[in-house]
A and B are shown apart, each in its own frame.
Chain A
Amino acid sequence: MTALSGVEIRARNGPFARLGAWLSQERVFRWIPFVLVEGTFILVIIIPFLLTIYISFLRWRANRPFEQAYLSGFRNYEAVLSDTGFWAALGRTFYFAGFAVVFELVIGFLLAMLVHRVVRGRRIYITVFLIPMMVVPVVVGYNFSMIYIDHGPLNQLLLPLTSILGIDPRIRWLSDPLAAQWAIILADVWQWTSLTFLIFLSGFSALPPQLINAARVMGASRWQTFWWVELPLLKPVIVIAVVVRSMEALKLFDPVVLLTFGGPGTSTQTVAYYLWEQVWQFNKFAFGAAASMLLLILFSTLIFTGIWLMMRERTRLDRERAS
């Protein structure tokens, strides 16, 4: 074998090569992507935020020139907090999110459990059940608006039921306050059960089969195995599903716009829709800014709790694995 010393190592110089060499030093290189991403966050998220904080203290409506705005202390915050519409919308958001998430979790879990046990046709079920996730939310809103119309297919399908009960078969899904609320919850459940299904399914497929086999060999029944072995192992995935879906459900906006515009009356106004209307219909920018800040504080608290829950679950797992 010949020695490498005989081979000339081609020297490379010039400004680009030198820049490249400087950038590929570890202490520099490791921070390049960090600086890029943080820079983007600062430019697109942080600066607008600071701006909002400023505006939330102004007395200003967008239909007047910005120069006429003046600082007004906490008046916008007082206005938001004493606004019944805001509180009602917030309450409604939690009401929608609560029902929707519970349905999504229960149905998603059952479906994942059933699909996990299916041998033939598994792939087809998974493919079909995941479709709603990929459908654009606005299209979902549109689809349901079509299905919900008084002369629509849903009422046609419900005809046997409504004729037995003796009620008018033309249920006014979108113009009756209560029906409209459930119309939105149903559309949300239709779309997002696919996500909880996905999370639970990945949980089920990650279950270690030898543990379940061990339990079965030791004489545990199906139900006992599920309750004492599978469910505790799935707990972290359940936490994820609850956290992720709850966070998303509180943002509910698209189907409201597409289905009801918050109506009839204000019966389907979620907090996102309410704010949007305040700002874009009534030009109450400063009011909207203050409400945004309050919402941010509220949601951040919830998000931090959620992340804390997830991280606690993770550290618990790591500890268990280590021991």
Chain B
Amino acid sequence: MTPAVAGRAAGRTRRRRTVLRHAVLIGWGAIIMFPIYWMIQTSFKDSGEWVTWPPNWLPQDPTLKNYEQVFTFDVQAAGVAREATEQPFNIWGSLLDSVLICSISSLIALFMGTFLAYAISRFNVGGSTFRHMVLLVRMIPPIVIAIPLLMYYAIMVPFATETLLDTRISLFDTRTGVSALYTTVTLPFVIWMMLSFIEEVPYTLEHAARLMGAGRIYTLRKIVLPLVASGMVVTFLFVFILSWGEFLLALTLTHPDVSTLPVLLNKYQSASEGRLYGPQAAIGTVITVPVVIMGILIQKHLVKGFSFGMMRR
């Protein structure tokens, strides 16, 4: 073979390889997108089209009825309820619960976790293995803490407040209770992620500030926090997504007053009157879209950060 022919052959192999690679990747992309596509298109179908054989790949007669039903306060009064499949739920209460619980718990976790990460990074608080131990809390299966928490919230806290404060305060089925729990379970993530951001800030910046006479808190406020601000946004969004999707603990610790969005979706799923595929698809879409957007926003940082510093040199 002459070099030119060999080169052309190599080029062909390379091209074939590239085509094959893209074919595999596009194939997986299709698998990824399919359930999401199915949910979104179902959310625009009316009840007659939810289940047909063969299934309709796109809504024949696109409608916003599902969204109307989900977003209407009083389904009966507004007349958007369906005869056979009437449901008392609307999304507003759960939406408010989810937004409040997730943002408050993520904010508190963010601030506590950031300060602890700072202390771990700068003063080695808790020793060298502490940062690994922190992850332990996260690895405990939620079912194992669900039972104790239920009794704690429903029995022990009311009992304690009654004896100590003379008022009965229950954390069961309250936003406070769920928020406190979410703060705790997301803290390990905040600590772990913020550690990696804080360790990128050179110590000497703080030393310089201290030498110029700045106090601890002033240094933290003027030097460290501005430099890790973008990291804090990423971390906030990450734990927000975690809390937003949490199901088991919310299911355990709430009913009937408070219900987060996953719990609401589950109520539809287990409804006895027959499945409401359309409104469920609408709720699913409403739950999914904001977090997927948040996820795409922080994805660059995730790719960088998920080797846990094991590969960094």
- Chain B residues, CB < 8 A from A138: 245, 247, 262, 265-266, 287
Nearest CB of chain A from residue B217's CB, rounded to whole Å = 5
CB interface residues, A 142-180, toward B, < 8 Å = 142-147, 149, 151-153, 156
Judge whether A1 is part of the interface by a CB distance below 8 angstroms: no
8 extra A-B contacts, CB within 8 A, seeds A40-B187, A146-B281, A206-B311 = A34-B119, A40-B184, A48-B152, A55-B151, A156-B53, A272-B141, A279-B150, A311-B132
- Chain A residues, CB < 8 A from B311: 202-203, 206-207, 233, 236-237
CB interface residues, A 266-323, toward B, < 8 Å = 271-272, 275-276, 279-280, 285, 288-289, 292, 295-296, 299-300, 303, 306-307, 310-311, 313-314, 317, 321
Judge whether A242 is part of the interface by a CB distance below 8 angstroms: no
Judge whether A30 is part of the interface by a CB distance below 8 angstroms: yes
- Chain B residues, CB < 8 A from A129: 28-29, 32
Query: Would you call A142 and B307 a contact (CB within 8 A)?
Result: no
Q: Which of B144, B266, B281 contacts A292 (CB 8 A)?
A: B144
- Chain A residues, CB < 8 A from B270: 261
Query: A178-199 CB contact bits vs B (8 Å, 1 = yes)?
Result: 0000000000001000100011
- CA–CA, A251 to B32, complex, Å? 23
Query: Would you call A240 and B112 a contact (CB within 8 A)?
Result: no
CB interface residues, B 252-294, toward A, < 8 Å = 252, 261-262, 265-266, 269-270, 277, 280-281, 284, 287-288, 291-292, 294
Query: Would you call A44 and B184 a contact (CB within 8 A)?
Result: yes
Judge whether A88 is part of the interface by a CB distance below 8 angstroms: no
Query: Would you call A202 and B303 a contact (CB within 8 A)?
Result: yes
Query: Would you call A136 and B287 a contact (CB within 8 A)?
Result: yes
Nearest CB of chain A from residue B290's CB, rounded to whole Å = 10
Task: Count CB-based A-B contacts (< 8 Å).
Answer: 289
- CA–CA, A289 to B149, complex, Å? 11
Q: Which residue of B lies closest to A170 (CB)?
A: B53
Query: Would you call A258 and B145 a contact (CB within 8 A)?
Result: no
Nearest CB of chain B from residue A42's CB, rounded to whole Å = 10
- CA–CA, A118 to B31, complex, Å? 19
- Chain A residues, CB < 8 A from B151: 48, 51-52, 55, 285
Q: Which residue of B lies closest to A321 (CB)?
A: B313
Judge whether B62 is part of the interface by a CB distance below 8 angstroms: no
- CA–CA, A43 to B149, complex, Å? 11
Q: Which of A111, A207, A292 contacts B143 (CB 8 A)?
A: A292
- Chain B residues, CB < 8 A from A140: 35
- CA–CA, A251 to B185, complex, Å? 14
- Chain B residues, CB < 8 A from A201: 303
Judge whether A132 is part of the interface by a CB distance below 8 angstroms: yes
Judge whether A14 is part of the interface by a CB distance below 8 angstroms: no
Q: Which residue of B lies closest to A203 (CB)?
A: B307
- CA–CA, A239 to B79, complex, Å? 56
Judge whether B11 is part of the interface by a CB distance below 8 angstroms: no
Judge whether B146 is part of the interface by a CB distance below 8 angstroms: yes
- Chain B residues, CB < 8 A from A51: 148, 151-152, 156
Name 20 interchain pairs, CB-CB below 8 A, sorted by A: A26-B123, A29-B216, A34-B126, A44-B180, A111-B25, A114-B25, A117-B21, A118-B22, A121-B22, A128-B32, A134-B296, A137-B245, A138-B262, A139-B245, A146-B39, A156-B55, A257-B251, A257-B266, A285-B151, A310-B132
Give the size range of A's interface with the partner: 35 or more
**Counting chain B CB atoms within 10 Å of each CB, which of A34, A37, A137, A307 scores highest?**
A37
- CA–CA, A135 to B113, complex, Å? 25
Query: Would you call A251 and B141 a contact (CB within 8 A)?
Result: yes
Nearest CB of chain A from residue B190's CB, rounded to whole Å = 10
- Chain A residues, CB < 8 A from B24: 110, 114
Q: Which of A131, A144, A206 contacts B295 (CB 8 A)?
A: A131
Query: Would you call A152 and B55 a contact (CB within 8 A)?
Result: yes
- Chain A residues, CB < 8 A from B261: 136
Sorted nearest first, the 3 A-B pairs with minimum C-beta distance are A134-B295, A48-B148, A206-B311
Asked whether A206 and B245 contact (CB < 8 A) given A289-B147, A303-B136, the answer is no
- CA–CA, A237 to B287, complex, Å? 32
Judge whether B305 is part of the interface by a CB distance below 8 angstroms: yes
Nearest CB of chain B from residue A127's CB, rounded to whole Å = 6
- Chain A residues, CB < 8 A from B144: 292, 295-296, 299
Nearest CB of chain B from residue A172's CB, rounded to whole Å = 14
Query: Would you call A206 and B307 a contact (CB within 8 A)?
Result: yes
Query: Would you call B313 and A36 a contact (CB within 8 A)?
Result: no
- Chain B residues, CB < 8 A from A251: 141-143
- Chain A residues, CB < 8 A from B31: 190
- Chain A residues, CB < 8 A from B187: 37, 40-41
CB interface residues, B 293-310, toward A, < 8 Å = 294-296, 299, 302-308, 310
Query: Would you call A114 and B241 a contact (CB within 8 A)?
Result: no
Nearest CB of chain B from residue A32's CB, rounded to whole Å = 7
Query: Would you call B287 and A34 a contact (CB within 8 A)?
Result: no
Judge whether B236 is part of the interface by a CB distance below 8 angstroms: no
Query: Would you call A136 and B35 a contact (CB within 8 A)?
Result: no
- CA–CA, A276 to B144, complex, Å? 10
Asked whether A153 and B156 contact (CB < 8 A) given A29-B216, A199-B307, A317-B310, the answer is no
